[in-house]
Structure 1
Amino acid sequence: MRKFLLIFLSIILIPQLQAAEITATSCINSEIDVVVLGSGGPELTDRRASTGYLLREKGKARFIIDFGAGASLNFERVGGKIEDLEALLFTHFHVDHVNDLPAIIKASFFSDRERDLPLYGPTGNHIIPSTSVFVERQFGVNGVYPYLSDFLTGEAVYRLIPIEVNADHDNPRLFTTKIGDFSIQAIGVDHGLLPSLAWRIEKDGCSLVISGDTNNSGKTLEHLAKTADIFIAHHAVPESSKDHVAQHLHMKPSEIGRISRDSKVHHLLLSHFMHRTEHTEDETQSAIRSYYNGPLDFAKDCDIYQLQTGKKIGSCM
């Protein structure tokens, strides 16, 4: 059986995070931006694609972070090319974050991609499989799509390589790696029973941080989001929520505001809307503004934001 590449975090514990390599630097690259491929959640009545983001440099696709239902269409709209991607990064394996993964793997057959494609995701538990098992169950010879198994066995023109990152929020460790010229970091966040990660991508002093779905009860986001040029925070529960299940999975706007203030975030972008947060902008802004007074935007599908300025610079619609 083919061996999967596993990466477990063993270097930096939370008490040591202040000594980690995240430092306040100025973004000197005006050609890095992020495209909101999907700003919605699991509902099919919200007129939004499910969660997904694309980091680009000079207009070229570099990193996909989550790839929920509908994200593949917006990847096409923005002119993304599969052969340009450095890696796929997943926060967790809820359907609304991974649904279009088979679509992009199948589509890659018709692309010019020839180099291996790393797929980074969380370790698993008794509720949901680890990244390597998840990918095997999707594309293995005994998986859901066995006709795509050559992307795992090495018989295709490139290999899909699953890489596991420790997502244990009870014993969080900062994961750090280099992919090309980009520095990548991740840390486990609390999303109920689902092993989940938050991601940071950085180059030339320009940094993008994506919270993923989390209630942040373990306070692991503060360090990862430090001085982020753009902090994409998932906003799936309103400040007035009395839904204890939802609050166990997602953070309220006041927590997003506190993180943004304490981390000195340059620009805050809210995403992952659901019906319960879609028409609560005034309440949400008020809760966030009690902590954070920096630039704040509400994401829409296909919005494009420049990391250097934090400003919206276009749309793929």
Structure 2
Amino acid sequence: MKNLRFLFFLSKSPKLNFVLFLPKYAPKLVIGFLYLFTSSCSFHNTYIADHLVKKQIIKNTAEHSERKWLSDGKIHLITIGTGSPRADEKRMQTSTAIITDGNFLIFDAGSGTSIAAERQHLPMDQMNAIFLTHFHSDHIADVPMMVNSSWRLGRKHNLPVLGPEGTIKVVDGFNQFMSFDASYRHKNGDGTSSISYAKAIGKEILTPKEKVKLLLFEGLNGLKVYCFTVSHSPVEPAFGYLIQHKGKSIVISGDTRKSENLEHFSENADILVHEAINKKILKKFLEVTDQYPDDTSMQIAATTAVRVMDYHSSPLDAAEIAQKANVKTLVYTHITPTLGPFLPRNFITVPMFLEGVSNVYKGEVIIADDGFHYELNTP
């Protein structure tokens, strides 16, 4: 009865009705007013709209401070992409960059990472070399776009793509794949340098033996890049990389199960960038897929999950390597599976991801996101 009397009272009190209902409908009224205002005055033709568009053009096109990283004397590590082969709305596939003393090096270039590098305002025209750890698609799919974009954006030097045996064949295929595009863009005046720079130059090296590293690249101002083998069979060969410059060292694991060879070459490294697959979450994933034996998609995903757990490393595996090798900072990348949105990420999946890590590794631990940037000061 009280509710009925209240409704009756409202119907007899239009002024009070308006006051009570105004908070509920205020947002819709404001949006409606703005729509009527902008549509009636052709807002897109106003000075404000013109100013906003030009400001965004400058933001997207002009040179940014990241170009200073080439000459500020520091070593800059950027995780361009940190994802896996599976789609992740927060992460592109794998790619890592190092910028220092005129050197701009790319390590792997999975799908979407060329666009990500441009969004992160990296100095694409100064790219010196691309290194491949192995030939899984989520590590090489965007190599042709890295080559093409750096050329279109002004690169005026040859760009080597270096890696294991098979790299020359892969690069030749990419060059052929992009040949029509390069020709069209050159005729249209898109590339500001010779069309010959639109092609990459493939270089490969014989697989080094265990506990042996081979010098693959000598960059500007004394920078050196060495390759060594990691354990990712049936993918063979698979490389990790050791970058040394001005007394500092960075190791990039590529894809690997727990590897003694990787541990050997990570000794006293300043940074170890290591892939990580959360096997605990994947096992829970398998518990779910077991409930859907007739779902083809579920079973394909389950089969993939079982296989990848065998030839990848867990966060704890990487932490144990980092501790034994006396690594100063451990950076996790190639994050599998997705960590999810903010709340489950911070309260569930990240704690599960890092479970046990602090018990075995006492250095700095970072779960990298796309665009993560780390600076090393040099002597």
Q: TM-score, normalised by structure 1?
A: 0.75
Deviates more, 1:157-166 or 1:297-306: 157-166
Which residue type is aligned with residue 324 of structure 2?
A: D
Counterpart for residue 96 of structure 2: 53
Counterpart for residue 74 of structure 2: 31
Counterpart for residue 42 of structure 1: 85
Counterpart for residue 129 of structure 2: 87
Question: In the superposition, relative to structure 1, how do residues 258 and 30 fare at CA in structure 2: closer, same or farther (>3 Å)?
Answer: farther
1:228 aligned to 264, 269, 279, which one?
A: 269
Residues 39, 299 of structure 1: 8 Å contact kept: yes
Q: C-alpha separation between the residues in 2 aligned to 1:83 and 1:208?
A: 23
> What is the aligned length?
267
1:260 aligned to 314, 322, 341, which one?
A: 322
Higher helix share: 2
For residue 137 of structure 1, report the CA deviation from its aligned partner: 1.9
Deviations 1:33-61 (A, max 9, x none): 11110011111134211101111126x66
Deviations 1:199-222 (A, max 9, x none): 1111111221111110035x2101
Deviates more, 1:238-247 or 1:32-41: 238-247
1:120 aligned to 162, 166, 187, which one?
A: 162
Deviations 1:276-313 (A, max 9, x none): 6665422332332232111101101111011249xxxx
Counterpart for residue 7 of structure 1: none
Residues 213, 226 of structure 2: 8 Å contact kept: yes
Question: In the superposition, relative to structure 1, how do residues 61 and 74 fare at CA in structure 2: closer, same or farther (>3 Å)?
Answer: farther
Which residue type is aligned with residue 147 of structure 1?
A: F
- Does residue 175 (structure 1) correspond to residue 214 (structure 2)? The answer is yes
Q: C-alpha separation between the residues in 1 aligned to 2:239 and 2:324?
A: 20
Which residue type is aligned with residue 268 of structure 1?
A: L
Q: Per chain length, whose mean CA-contact separation is higher, i.e. which structure has more relative contact order (CA < 8 Å, sep 6+)?
A: 1
Which residue type is aligned with residue 231 of structure 1?
A: L
Counterpart for residue 75 of structure 1: 117
1:145 aligned to 175, 178, 200, which one?
A: 178
Counterpart for residue 248 of structure 2: 206
Which residue type is aligned with residue 236 of structure 1?
A: I
**Over 6 Å off, 4+ runs:** none
Q: C-alpha separation between the residues in 2 aligned to 1:155 and 1:226?
A: 43
Question: In the superposition, relative to structure 1, how do residues 300 and 276 fare at CA in structure 2: closer, same or farther (>3 Å)?
Answer: closer
For residue 159 of structure 1, report the CA deviation from its aligned partner: 5.4
Question: In the superposition, relative to structure 1, how do residues 49 and 240 fare at CA in structure 2: closer, same or farther (>3 Å)?
Answer: closer
1:135 aligned to 167, 171, 182, which one?
A: 171
Q: C-alpha separation between the residues in 1 aligned to 2:332 and 2:358?
A: 13
Q: C-alpha separation between the residues in 2 aligned to 1:241 and 1:308?
A: 38
For residue 273 of structure 1, report the CA deviation from its aligned partner: 0.9
Residues 316, 354 of structure 2: 8 Å contact kept: no
Which residue type is aligned with residue 221 of structure 1?
A: L
Q: TM-score, normalised by structure 2?
A: 0.64
Counterpart for residue 226 of structure 2: 185
Deviations 1:122-161 (A, max 9, x none): 12xxxxxx10111112223xxx3343689xxx97147522
Counterpart for residue 161 of structure 1: 201
1:64 aligned to 78, 81, 106, which one?
A: 106
Residues 127, 150 of structure 2: 8 Å contact kept: no
User: Structure 1: where are the runs of 5+ without partners?
Assistant: 1-28, 124-129, 310-317
Question: In the superposition, relative to structure 1, how do residues 109 and 56 fare at CA in structure 2: closer, same or farther (>3 Å)?
Answer: closer
Counterpart for residue 215 of structure 1: 257
Q: C-alpha separation between the residues in 1 aligned to 2:103 and 2:263?
A: 28
- Does residue 237 (structure 1) correspond to residue 278 (structure 2)? The answer is yes
| Larger CA Rg, structure 1 vs 2 | 2
Higher strand share: 1
Residues 278, 337 of structure 2: 8 Å contact kept: no
Which residue type is aligned with residue 32 of structure 1?
A: I
Question: In the superposition, relative to structure 1, how do residues 248 and 282 fare at CA in structure 2: closer, same or farther (>3 Å)?
Answer: same
For residue 80 of structure 1, report the CA deviation from its aligned partner: 2.1
